[in-house]
Amino acid sequence: MATLAKKQPGARHISPGKKSTVRSSSGSMPSRIRGSRGGSSAASGPAGTASRKRRRGSTGTALRSQGGWYKRGKLSKAAFRAAYALGQASARELKQEQQEGGRQQLLKNGSQISQTMNAAFSKSRAGRRDASFSAILREGAAFRNGFMDAWGEGLAMTPYVLLPLRGTAAAVVTVCNEEDSIRQVLHELKLLPLTDIIVVINGCTDHSFKYTMEFEGVTVIHEPEALGLDVGRALGAKLTKADTVLFVDGDFPVSAWQLAPFLLAVDQGVDVALNDVTPYLGAFKYWDAVSRVKQFLNCSLDRPDLVTNSMTCIPHALSRRALDTIGESTLAVPPKAQAAALAAPLKVQASASINVFMKNRRRNQNVGSGNPVARLIIGDHIEALKSIQRKQGSRLSFADRVRRRSQAGG
């Protein structure tokens, strides 16, 4: 799996046309930056031959089942060079404006750099037909490299992920004693063009709060008592008015590159962009009760294609329309939010595939069949189904075309 572990921050990127020297490393070395497992080729360096080589060696089972949502959009050398050149041109233009206007230091801090580059990139892509997400990401990388090269001094190479978003985007992170991983999580989020990063620190007795406050541009909600992941997400969602809200957890760093598809999908019209965990489930007979009830909910609401994908799993992203329809309070019970989204109906689909199963910590409460956490989740699903049945009838999508139920009194 390709990682950036070998690259030092501040090192120059690799110019277009040259072969990449980043090689696949063994999976056992944990990457400081790319903490995710599986998923797409993680590097945000230049596209072209390098990434194609890396992909062949990668372990991500997700890539094998990409389906339609994550087409292997190839970026031709010409397109790459064009994007790079656009980046350079943008940088020169901005620098000139700065000099003419006499403005002091246009790009003072990380957020400004990211915002400026992203705005320039969005402008350069304005009015263009939507390409695959993968192509957009690679173009963004090329543009960024060109921009940073042309800007020159004072701009350390940081792998910002540029996205041509039409609306604003925010992220909500729930944290309960995650000092080991929170810095990585926030580092990755800072690479994305987000207007708001809201961290819900609840019931933390470790250094999570201190580490979070070290990041600039982050809104921190502090709750002395532990709220639980779901309530934390609902609370975080209330504090932002962004058009897209991405939900992640503080204990599982996911690379910015992998989170980008969620933002792009919602920006392009999807209401609920879910994580596709189907490739990691295995055979049905080995599924646990929670997975089965998730699938049952999706099938009952006429979406068997989603399999077990649901808002109970992070990461996922919601549009402003989804938040208004579902209501932030309902997010506190994810199965209900899922049911509300499917029943509305909102545009719900899987936008990326990240293996989150490795990360779930084994605690006394959530192993073994019939464990309390599982019972709670299953109970929530049952309640969710009941509330939809009240409105849509008890059969939901399983219409009975055989029996004359009216004659049988039911």
Partner 1 sequence: MQLTSIVIPTYNKLPLLQQAVAAIRTYTRMDETPYEIVVADNGSQDGTVEWCRQEGLRFVALPYNAGFPVACNKGMRMASGDFFLLLNNDVTVTNNWLPNLHRALASDSRIGIVGPVSNFVSGKQQVECSFRTMEEFQQLAASVNVPDSRKWEETERLVGFCLLFSRAFYQQIGELDECFSPGHYEDDDLCFRARKMGYRLLFCRDVLIHHIGSASFKNQDTAGLQELLQRNRKLFMEKWQIDPHIYI
Of 332 and 388, which has the nearer Cβ to partner 1? 332
CA distance 102 to 96: 10
Choose between 179 and 223: whose C-beta lies nearer to partner 1.
Answer: 223
> Cα–chain-centroid distance for residue 52?
23
Closer of 11 and 213 to partner 1 (Cβ):
213
> Quick one: how far is CA 85 from the chain centroid?
29
> Residue 308 in contact with residue 298, Cβ under 8 Å?
yes
Cβ at position 54, least distance to partner 1 in Å: 36
**Torsion angle in degrees (nearest 10) through CA of 227, 389, 269, 281:** 70
Structure tokens at 5: 């572990």
List 81, 92, 238, 321, residue binding partner 1 (CB under 8 A): 238
- Tell the smallest beta-carbon distance from residue 243 to partner 1 (Å): 17
- The distance of closest approach from Cβ of residue 15 to partner 1 in the complex, given in angstroms and rounded to an integer, is 36
Decide whether 227 or 348 has the Cβ nearer to partner 1.
Answer: 227
Of 212 and 255, which CB lies nearer to partner 1 in the complex structure? 212
Residue numbers 10-39 binding partner 1 by CB under 8 A:
none
Q: Find the part of the chain contacting partner 1 (CB under 8 A) among 25-33, 235-243, 364-372, 377-385.
A: 235-243
Q: Is 141 left (phi over 0), alpha (psi -120 to 50) or beta?
A: alpha
- Cα torsion 89, 91, 94, 96: sign: negative
The nearest distance, CB 251 to partner 1, in angstroms, is 21
Residues 135/74, Cβ–Cβ less than 8 Å: yes
Quick count: other Cβ atoms within 10 Å of Cβ 61?
13
Measure Cα distances from 291 to 71, 229, 281, 310, 378 in Å: 27, 18, 9, 10, 9
Distance of CA 254 to the CA centre of its chain: 8
398: left (phi over 0), alpha (psi -120 to 50) or beta: beta
Q: Which is nearer to partner 1, 175 or 307 (CB)?
A: 175
Which token pair is 133? 């997400």
| Residue with Cβ nearer partner 1 (29 or 213) | 213
Report whether 234 contacts 332 (CB < 8 A).
Answer: yes
Q: Which of 5, 239, 299, 346 binds partner 1 (CB under 8 A)?
A: 239
Helix (H, G, I), strand (E, B) or coil at 352: strand
Question: Least distance to partner 1 from the beta carbon of 219, Å?
Answer: 6
Minimum CB–partner distance for residue 332 and partner 1 (Å): 12
Contacts with 257 (C-beta within 8 Å, 6 or more apart), sequence order: 40, 42, 43, 44, 137, 161
Q: How far is the CB of 235 from partner 1 (least distance, A)?
A: 7
Q: Which is nearer to partner 1, 107 or 301 (CB)?
A: 107
At residue 378, what are phi and psi to the nearest 5 degrees? -65, -40
Spatial contact of 286 and 333, defined as CB atoms under 8 Å apart: no
Q: Is 136 in the site for partner 1 (CB under 8 A)?
A: no
Least distance CB 315 / partner 1 (angstroms): 22
Give the number of residues in contact with partner 1, rule: CB under 8 A.
14
Whole-angstrom distance, CA of residue 363 vs CA of residue 175 = 17
Helix 110-124 with 182-190: angle, nearest 10 deg: 40
Closer CB to partner 1, residue 191 or residue 277? Answer: 191
Of residues 115 and 219, the one with the C-beta less far from partner 1: 219
Q: 360, 371 in Cβ contact below 8 A?
A: no
Task: Name residues contacting partner 1, limited to 174-233 (CB under 8 A).
Answer: 209, 213, 216-224
Q: How far is the CB of 340 from partner 1 (least distance, A)?
A: 20
Q: How far is the CB of 334 from partner 1 (least distance, A)?
A: 20
In the complex, least distance from residue 195 CB atom to partner 1, rounded to whole angstroms: 11
Pick the closer one to partner 1 by CB: 224 or 410.
224
List contacts with partner 1 (CB under 8 A).
209, 213, 216-224, 235, 238-239
